[in-house]
């Protein structure tokens, strides 16, 4: 009898231990006797218990059966990831109307980039998109849901009044192709785009609000130092009244962590339980151009957020975007867990096209020519070596990942997690996170 390697035990108290299957998010509570037999003398377990352990893939009859299961699982995941629909990110501008204290564009020194002939650039971008989609359809003839092909518009700040014709142009191209579109925006000029945004092709908008007025207005400011809170809140209200879905992101560090209860109060008071508003918190992994003095270690941040939830229940309105979020949600919300071999779209089928004529695979480093994987102006010129590295970034190919028990949750990790904008990150190196500690912390808090 073979106990899988992809298992974690979390001690709840003197009598109970939680057993977690890190491949499928099965979770069970064991008494100490069952745990002791499972670890030290598995054949001493009764037949009924053995059958349940087999059913939930904790144990296999032999090493050979276990190895075969892993091989088939890897093949299934690999096939699904390689055949996933392509997704695209287009950047019509690197200009921005805010000067946020942790601005990542300033980290990459993306300043004073002038976009010439933006509509012509957009035409070039969609030529590439059309070609990639055509090849994908030829390879996957059964593919039919065109809305699964997503175009994300980002910047800089894409929703600048001066860019209104460009955004409308992109929307028209998306509608013609029956794709879907979403936008990452700071929201300060959102009201000027309402007629364009009230279209079925728009899936959602992401807007950042970093706290209550006093806190937010220290972080997300105009060039003259004026805060943006009031304008953003007003525009969120306008968008929701127009039935537009909004993912409201809160970039959390030491500066605004303990302001979450007040921000929650504001959102509840202003928007009640509007089903189109999805607030979530993201613990910043680095502080951009402001440095890392305020960055909170993830395990510490998780514990502090849960403490706030216990003391201020309104904080529960925020989805918590922690590293093992999908795994934890599968357990506690009884939904299917999808194991992965790759961390994100950069290693699968993601294509980023900016207004400078650069092509990228990863969101981090956009605007910086050193991070690009090719050019499309005047003609397409691919960096085959770099693209091959991204294509090969999988837990099946990185030595440290191959036997890591958290590999199906992590998918190699983010190679840009600690980027500072100076040198290119290493695509061929794993990026490890302390999943053992994170999962233990969250499981204990959830069970409370």
Q: Which of 47-52's residues contact partners 24+ apart within 8 Å by CB, and which partners?
A: 50/1
**Per-residue pLDDT at 418:** 60
pLDDT of residue 370: 83
- pLDDT by position in tens, the chain (length 448): 999 999 999 999 999 999 999 999 999 999 999 999 999 999 999 999 999 999 999 999 999 999 999 999 999 999 999 999 999 999 999 999 999 988 876 655 565 566 678 999 999 999 999 999 999 999 999 999 999 999 999 999 999 999 999 999 999 999 999 999 999 999 999 999 999 999 999 999 999 999 999 999 999 999 999 999 999 999 999 999 999 999 999 999 999 999 999 999 999 999 998 999 999 999 988 756 566 778 899 999 999 999 999 999 999 999 999 999 999 999 999 999 999 999 999 999 999 999 999 999 998 888 888 889 999 999 999 999 999 999 999 999 999 999 999 999 999 999 987 655 556 789 999 999 999 999 999 999 999 8
User: Residue 130: enclosing H or E segment and its boundaries?
Assistant: helix 118-139
List own/partner pairs for 60-63 with CB under 8 A and 24 or more apart: 60/1, 60/2, 60/4, 61/1, 61/2, 62/2, 63/2
Q: What is the largest CA-CA distance in the chain?
A: 74
φ, ψ for residue 202, nearest 5 deg: -75, 125
C-alpha to C-alpha distance for 445 and 310, rounded to whole angstroms: 10
The pLDDT of residue 419:
57
Q: Is 255 helix (H, G, I), strand (E, B) or coil?
A: coil
Tokens for 17, please give them. Answer: 């231990």
Asked, for residue 77, whether it belongs to a domain, the answer is no
Distance CA 255, CA 264 (A): 16
Q: Are residues 53 and 105 in the same domain?
A: no
Chain Cα centroid distance, residue 240: 23
Q: Which of 384, 355, 387, 419 is nearest to 119 (CA)?
A: 355
**Residue 137 domain-assigned (yes or no):** yes
Q: In this structure, are 152 and 45 located in the same domain?
A: no
Q: Are residues 183 and 257 in the same domain?
A: yes
Decide: 218 and 212 in contact? Cβ < 8 Å: no
Both 286 and 419 in one domain: the answer is yes
279-294 pLDDT tens trace: 999 998 875 656 677 8
Do 163 and 305 lie in one domain? The reply is yes
For residue 332, the 8-state DSSP code is H
Asked if residue 389 belongs to a domain, the reply is yes
Count up the domains in the chain and report the number. 2
Say what the pLDDT of residue 114 is.
Answer: 67
Q: Report yes or no: 86 and 350 within 8 Å, Cβ to Cβ.
A: yes
The C-alpha atoms of residue 331 and residue 26 are separated, in whole angstroms, by 7
- Whole-number pLDDT of residue 292: 74
**How far is 156 from 153, CA to CA, in rounded Å?**
10
Has residue 69 been placed in a domain?
Answer: no
Same domain, 95 and 52: no
Q: In this predicted structure, what is the pLDDT of residue 111?
A: 54
Cis peptide before 378 (omega within 30 of 0): yes
pLDDT reported for residue 79: 97
Residue 49 resides in a domain: yes
Angle at 338 between CA 53 and CA 35, to 5 degrees: 25
What's the CA gap between 140 and 286, in Å, rounded? 39
Nearest CA among 309, 303, 257, 251 for reference residue 280: 251
- Tell me, yes or no, whether 319 and 380 share the same domain: yes
71: in domain? no
Residues 93 and 185 in one domain: yes
Produce one character per residue of 318-357: b if its CB has 16 or more CB atoms within 10 Å, e if not: bebebbbebbbebbeeeeebebbbbbbbbbbbbbbbbbbb
Q: Same domain for 122 and 55?
A: no
Statement to judge: residues 150 and 13 lie in one domain: no
What value does the CA radius of gyration of the chain take, rounded to a whole number of Å?
24
Q: What is the pLDDT at residue 289?
A: 57
Pairwise CA distance, residues 434 & 443, whole Å: 14
* Number of neighbours of residue 275 by Cβ within 10 angstroms: 8
Q: How far apart are the C-alpha atoms of 352 and 154, rounded to whole Å?
A: 10
What's the rounded Cα separation, in Å, for the pair 259 and 422?
32
Question: Count of residues for the chain?
Answer: 448
Report the C-alpha gap between 432 and 415 in whole angstroms: 9
Kindly state whether residue 74 falls inside one of the protein's structural domains.
no
Which residues 6+ apart lie within 8 Å of 379 measured at CB?
none
425 burial via Cβ count (<10 Å: 0-12, 13-18, 19+)? middle
Going by C-alpha positions, the residue among 92, 167, 87, 94 that lies closest to residue 367 is: 94
Domain at 293, CATH number:
3.20.20.70
Judge contact between 147 and 177, C-beta under 8 A: no
Q: Are residues 440 and 300 in the same domain?
A: yes
DSSP lists the bridge partners of residue 17 as 11, 30
Choose among 158, 137, 156, 159: nearest CA to 148.
Answer: 137
One domain for residues 45 and 192: no
Q: Which domain holds residue 334?
A: 85-448
340 within domain boundaries? yes
């Amino acid at each position: 009898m073979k106990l899988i390697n992809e298992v974690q035990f979390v001690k709840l108290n003197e009598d109970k231990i939680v057993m977690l299957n890190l491949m499928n998010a099965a979770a069970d509570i064991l008494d100490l006797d069952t745990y002791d037999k499972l670890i030290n003398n598995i054949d001493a377990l009764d037949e009924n218990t053995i059958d349940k352990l087999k059913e939930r893939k904790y144990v296999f009859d032999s090493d050979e059966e276990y190895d075969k299961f892993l091989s088939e699982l890897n093949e299934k995941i690999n096939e699904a990831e390689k055949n996933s629909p392509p997704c695209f990110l287009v950047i019509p501008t690197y200009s921005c109307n805010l000067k946020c204290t942790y601005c990542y564009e300033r980290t990459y020194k993306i300043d004073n980039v002038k976009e010439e002939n933006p509509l012509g650039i957009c035409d070039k971008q969609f030529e590439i998109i059309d070609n990639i989609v055509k090849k994908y359809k030829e390879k996957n003839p059964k593919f039919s849901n065109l809305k699964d092909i997503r175009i994300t518009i980002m910047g800089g700040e894409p929703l600048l009044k001066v860019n209104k014709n460009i955004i409308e142009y992109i929307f028209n191209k998306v509608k013609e192709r029956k794709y879907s579109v979403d936008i990452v925006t700071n929201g300060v000029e959102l009201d000027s785009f309402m007629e364009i945004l009230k279209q079925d092709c728009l899936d959602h908008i992401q807007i950042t609000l970093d706290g209550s007025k006093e806190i937010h207005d220290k972080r997300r400011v105009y060039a003259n130092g004026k805060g943006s809170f009031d304008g953003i809140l007003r525009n969120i209200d306008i968008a929701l009244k127009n039935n537009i879905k909004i993912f409201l992101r809160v970039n959390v560090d030491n500066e605004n962590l303990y302001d979450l209860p007040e921000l929650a109060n504001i959102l509840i008071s202003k928007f009640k339980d509007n089903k189109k508003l999805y607030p979530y918190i993201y613990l910043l992994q680095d502080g951009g151009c402001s440095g890392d003095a305020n960055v909170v270690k993830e395990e510490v941040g998780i514990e502090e957020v849960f403490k706030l939830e216990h003391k201020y229940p309104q904080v529960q309105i925020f989805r918590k975007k922690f590293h093992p979020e999908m795994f934890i949600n599968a357990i506690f919300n009884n939904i299917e867990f999808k194991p992965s071999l790759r961390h994100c779209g950069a290693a699968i089928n993601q294509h980023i096209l900016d207004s400078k004529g650069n092509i990228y695979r990863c969101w981090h480093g956009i605007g910086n020519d050193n991070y690009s994987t090719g050019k499309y102006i005047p003609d397409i010129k691919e960096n085959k070596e770099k693209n091959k590295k991204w294509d090969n970034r999988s837990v099946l190919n990185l030595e440290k990942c191959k036997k890591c028990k958290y590999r199906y949750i992590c998918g190699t990790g983010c190679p840009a997690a600690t980027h500072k904008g100076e040198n290119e990150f290493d695509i061929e190196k794993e990026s490890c996170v302390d999943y053992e500690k994170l999962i233990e912390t969250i499981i204990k808090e959830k069970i409370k």
